[in-house]
Amino acid sequence: MPVPLHWIGVSAVAAVFVVMFALGLTLGREQIAAALARRVVLTVVVFAVLVPIPVLAVLAVKLLDPPLPVAVGILLMAVSPGAPVALRRAIDAGGDHHFAPALHLAIVLLAVVSVPLSVAVIDKIIGTDFTVSPLAIGRQVFFAQLFPLALGATVRARRPALAARWSPPLARIGNVLILGMGALALIDLPAVLDRIGWLPSLTGFGLTVLSLAVGAALGHRDAQVWPAAAVATAMRNPGLALLIATVNHASPLVVTGIIGYAIGLALAMMAFLQWRRRATAH
């Protein structure tokens, strides 16, 4: 029996808020210093997130020629960067604790401008009728990511001892909530695959692997930067893609295309993180 979408949505909201608040408890002036010290790498990685990866997605859609609604779902994922859990994944992969937050914040702030522009380009390329306002993107970014991050950072600035005590258990709670959200989504996997097949998931998996390679290559000279660069380049924001689909009253196949891509992304990211854990353990 499929899990109602609003149940998954509620679990996602709770998981994201806890994860971002826990990360905010670790934020301070060190992130600004890290961004300034590695500003060239930061700029290059942000460019890779916003331009080459969506271009690769367009080429993949042109090559594979899926049904138009599924193609739209894939492209909406490709142009929606800065997933709320990307920062946690970057740190889990061994990314620098100071550089990774600075990179993530740069990506989500620029998404307010880049996503509407990318949607307009998609509209011209494949003949859809999609629009999205910077205000809608900004609202989603603020409430899903910036607000809990700022709340956590405020606690750390005013009560550092309390922040240090709260951060580890909240991080663990956030991880448990994410696992629960993933389990709920997997229950719906057979129904999703029955509707659209494996193509969106395979496309999401392949584009994620390519994105990880691009990000790793851009930061390969710095062992503390490249894991964060790889994850930031690869991670996409399903919530943002679903927002665009919702405000445009998109076909249900667009939504399933987004979910299919997200499944492939999750599988590729799980494999990458497992490989990084083994590599750092030796």
pLDDT in single tens digits along all 282 residues of the chain: 555 555 555 666 777 788 788 878 877 777 767 777 788 888 888 888 888 889 999 999 989 988 888 899 999 999 998 877 777 788 777 767 778 888 888 888 888 888 888 888 888 887 777 777 778 888 878 887 788 888 988 998 899 899 889 888 887 887 787 777 667 666 766 776 677 788 899 999 999 999 999 998 887 777 778 888 899 999 998 888 887 888 788 888 888 888 889 889 989 998 999 998 887 776
Contacts of 170 (CB under 8 A, 6+ apart): 18, 21, 22, 25
**pLDDT (0 to 100) of residue 3:** 52
The answer to whether 84 and 240 have CB atoms below 8 angstroms apart is no
**pLDDT (0 to 100) of residue 167:** 83
216 within a domain of the structure (yes/no): yes
Look at the chain and report how many structural domains it folds into.
1
DSSP for 49-68, written as a single string = HHTHHHHHHHHHHHHH---H
Q: How far is CA 65 from CA 3, 210, 264, in A?
A: 30, 19, 18
* CA 254, 270, 95, 213 torsion-angle sign: negative
Of the candidates 97, 271, 118, the residue with the CA atom closest to the CA atom of residue 167: 97
CATH of the domain at 117: 1.20.1530.20
**pLDDT (0 to 100) of residue 95:** 67
**pLDDT (0 to 100) of residue 212:** 94
Residue 146: give the domain boundaries: 5-277
* CA 44, 45, 48, 50 torsion-angle sign: negative
Kindly report the number of other CB atoms within 10 A of residue 233's CB atom.
30
**pLDDT (0 to 100) of residue 7:** 55
225 within a domain of the structure (yes/no): yes
The answer to whether 85 and 16 have CB atoms below 8 angstroms apart is yes
Q: pTM for the complete prediction?
A: 0.83
282 within a domain of the structure (yes/no): no
Chain Cα centroid distance, residue 186: 18
**pLDDT (0 to 100) of residue 268:** 94
Phi, psi (degrees; rounded to nearest 5) at 141: -65, -40
